[in-house]
Structure 1
Amino acid sequence: MMSPTITRTIRGAGLAVALAVAGAATPALAQGQAAGGAPAAFTTADLARLCGPAADDANAMALRPACYAALVSIGQVHSLYTSGRNAQRPIFCLPEQPPTLDVVSAAFVSWAAANQQYSTTRAAEGVLRFAAQTYPCPAAPAGRRR
Structure 2
Amino acid sequence: MSFGPIARLLGVGALGVAMMATPAGAQGTAPPIFTTGELARACGPSAGDANALASRSVCYAVLVTVGQAHAMYTTGSRAAPPAFCMPNPSPSLEQVASGFVSWVAANPQHAGTRAVEGALRFAAATYPCAAPAARRR
TM-score over 0.5 for the pair = yes
1:21 CA drift (Å): 3.0
Structure 1: runs of 5 or more not aligned: none
- 1:67 partnered with 2:67: no
Q: Secondary structure at the match of 1:142?
A: coil
Identity of aligned residues (%): 51
Aligned to 1:12: 9
Structure 2: gaps (5+ residues): none
1:33-73 deviation digits (Å, cap 9, x = unpaired): 7xx85332111001001101101211001111110000000
The number of residue pairs the alignment matches comes to 133
User: Which runs of at least 4 in structure 1 moved beyond 6 Å after TM superposition?
Assistant: none
- State the Cα deviation string for residues 63-89 of structure 1 (Å, max 9, x = none): 111100000000111111110010111
The TM-score with structure 2 as length reference comes to 0.89
TM-score, L = length of structure 1: 0.84
Query: What is the match of residue 21 of structure 1?
Result: 18
Q: CA RMSD in A?
A: 1.8
Partner AA of 1:21 in structure 2: A
Aligned partners of 1:72 and 1:90: how far apart in 2? 16
Q: Distance in 2 between matches of 1:120 and 1:100?
A: 26
